[in-house]
Amino acid sequence: MSLRDTIEGARDEAKVTVDAMAKKSKDGSGGDKAVPAYDPFKSGKSSAAGARPAREAAASVRMEGDRTKKNPATMTKEEKKAARAEERRLEDKRNTAYDYMLKDNPEYKATNKTWWILLGVGFAMTIVSLIFTYVLGNGGMGLIALIALVLAYAFIIAAFVYDFRKRRKFRKAAEKRLQGMNDKRVAEYVKEQNEKARAEQAEQEAAKAAKKAAKGK
């Protein structure tokens, strides 16, 4: 339930309570003029009959919220444990859906090779620098080790810059798409992608088996 719904529900509760008190005061005074009802959230008069539907609507919203999420303070230890397990399950589902969204994006997949090359060369240069420094000794190899270390930093930084400029926008788009999906839709999407992955794997295995059988002949 949103903050706006909470405020509106509280306002309706206050209006009904004040109106009921005013009506009670009027009945007990033998027909004296009732004190005008005061709405702390909005000036003006409102009858109990007019406020009743809004109160019922607010109550239904609260009941719906109670059904979807319980108050942790009233939950037992087992219920809290089950709630945490459910949260982890939903989070895993969303992470899986996020990975599938990136995997199905051909533009993002096209950047993988370049990114891994830059990162791989950077780490390779780091290893080369360590080999020249600690294995072969400083001697005349110190300059080569320094050059390798500089190249390592250059390639690793280039990989991060490339990731930020070329790949980050695809991750942001996947995050935005995921935020627009409720838990049910996320579960359905993951199920669809799992079935699709199994079908593709079955096709690949069938193609390998057919190729192997053709070679055997």
- Residue 66 reports pLDDT greater than 70: no
**For the segment 137-157, what is each residue's pLDDT rounded down to a tens digit?**
655 567 788 888 899 999 999
- pLDDT bucket at 173, cuts 50 / 70 / 90: very high
96-126 pLDDT per residue, tens: 999 999 998 999 999 999 999 999 999 999 9
Q: Is residue 129 domain-shared with residue 84, that is, in the same domain?
A: yes
Same-domain status, 117 and 170: yes
- The answer to the question of residue 171 being in a domain is yes
Structure pTM? 0.54
- Residues 153-174 as b or e (16 or more Cβ within 10 Å = b): eebbebbeebbeeebeebeeeb
95 and 183 co-located in one domain: yes
Residue 169 or 49, more confident:
169
Which position has the higher pLDDT, 175 or 78? 175
**Residues 129, 145 contacting (CB under 8 angstroms):** yes
Domain boundary among 14, 45, 69: 69
pLDDT value at 27 more than 60: no
Taking residues 180-190, report their average pLDDT. 90
Instruction: Indicate if 127 and 40 belong to the same structural domain.
Output: no
Residue that terminates a domain, selected from 37, 69, 101 = 69
Whether residue 112 sits in one domain with residue 30: no
Highest mean pLDDT range out of 11-25, 124-138, 162-176?
162-176
Q: Residue 94 pLDDT > 60, yes or no? A: yes
Domain identity same for 171 and 212: yes
Asked if residue 63 is part of any domain, the answer here is yes
Structural contact between residues 162 and 118, judged by C-beta atoms closer than 8 angstroms: yes
Q: Which domain holds residue 196?
A: 80-216
Whether the per-residue pLDDT at 182 is higher than 60: the answer is yes
Same domain for 50 and 153, yes or no, is no
> What pLDDT does residue 160 have?
94
- Quote the number of domains for the chain: 2
100 and 8 assigned to the same domain = no
* Residue 74 within any structural domain of the chain: no
Q: Are residues 57 and 100 in the same domain?
A: no
Helix (H, G, I), strand (E, B) or coil at 181: coil
**CB count in 10 Å sphere of residue 141:** 15
Residues 97 and 135 both lie in one domain:
yes
Whether 48 and 148 map to the same domain: the answer is no
Residue 75 belongs to a domain: no
Identify whether residues 120 and 158 lie together within a single domain.
Answer: yes
